[in-house]
Structure 1
Amino acid sequence: MTARTTFLDDRVRASLQAVGAAAKRGLGDAGLAELVQVRASQLNHCAFCLDLHLGIARKQGVSERQLDLLAAWEEAGDVFDARERAALALTEAVTVLTEGFVPDAVYEEAARHFGADGLAHLLALIATINAWNRLMVTRRIPAGSTEW
């Protein structure tokens, strides 16, 4: 596949990278941050972001078992703990917005596990990866591309 365009304003790129970095720092759990980004990228069919964040997840020590079962996390039993499941449920709800909103139960469960500060960073991370996914998919940036 050939990219439609690789142009992205440097200020836009830097701003999105800064938001993502701040959200990850604030979340304070690098492995969970990568699980969230991989799951959103799966849902959005973003090969570029999947390739990138799967590699980072492995470097952060996320287990191959978690990565293998991420697409079926709800059925994966104890592979994901309650905090991870809450984050993944929120990621799916924010990414897909099937009902037009994030269900109260999903939001409240995430808030219970993350508190106000952690939840704010988790939401910023989810929003940022969704922005990146949409930029990459729309421009058709292929996995592994060095020009984006």
Structure 2
Amino acid sequence: MTVRTRRLDPAVARAMSALSAIAKQGLGDPALAELVVIRASQLNHCAFCLDMHLALAREHGVSEEQLDLVAAWEEAEDRFDERERAALALTEAVTVLTDGFVPDEVYARAAAHFDAAQLAHLIGLIVAINSWNRVMVSRRIPPGGHTA
């Protein structure tokens, strides 16, 4: 595997970082935000982002049990509350877009747990981490060396 430069154009990095920060802040739940970015990073096979966000999740109090089971959250029903499950379902739907759109029932499920502003921030966070994943995976940036 060839590792490409870690350097990203500063203007691009600032813009992506700003979206990530605003979305996390607007969501208002740092632990949930980390679960969302971890799940998207798993789906996108981004080792760099997984390494960074698993550490951040621990700092925000996400349990090891949840971290161990987030990849199978649907089967681990009692380990994730309904709000977390709605956010994770939306994360998968936006990240994968299998049918070219987010199913109405997935969106409605999320809308039942998040007000309009929180839902906008949640979607912004999902979009931001998918962008980061694509940048890091396309450049083959390995795990480690990140700064929170």
Same fold, TM exceeding 0.5?
Answer: yes
More helix by share: 1
Q: What corresponds to 1:87 in structure 2?
A: 87
- State the identity %: 68
Matches of 2:4 and 2:69, distance apart in 1: 32
Q: Give the corresponding residue for 2:69.
A: 69
The structural deviation recorded for 1:102 is: 0.4
Matches within 5 A, 1:1-148: 1-145=1-145
TM-aligned CA deviation for residue 146 of structure 1: 5.0
Asked if 2 retains the 8 angstrom alpha-carbon contact of 1:2 and 1:142, the reply is no
Secondary structure of 1:113's partner?
coil
- Uncovered stretches (5+) of structure 2, i.e. residues with no partner: none
**1:20 positional shift:** 0.5
TM-score of the two chains, using structure 1 as the length reference: 0.96
**Secondary structure in 1 aligned to 2:141?**
coil
Deviation at 1:4, TM superposition (A): 2.3
Tell me how far 1:145 sits from its aligned partner.
Answer: 3.4
AA of the residue aligned to 1:123: I
| CA-atom RMSD in angstroms | 1.2
Q: Deviating runs (4+, > 6 A) in structure 1?
A: none
Q: Give SS of 1:45's match.
A: coil
Whether the aligned pair in 1 keeps the contact of 2:37 and 2:129 (CA below 8 Å) is: yes
Contact 1:23–1:125 at 8 Å: present in 2 too?
Answer: yes
CA offsets, 1:20-75, max 9 Å, x none? 00101100000000000000000000000000000000000000000000000000
1:2–1:145 CA distance, 2 compared to 1 (3 A): farther
How many equivalent residue pairs? 147
Aligned residue identity for 2:27: L
Between the aligned partners of 1:63 and 1:146, the Cα distance in structure 2 is: 22
TM-score, normalised with respect to structure 2: 0.96
Offset of residue 98 of structure 1? 0.6
Q: State how far apart, in whole Å, the 2-side matches of 1:15 and 1:8 are.
A: 11
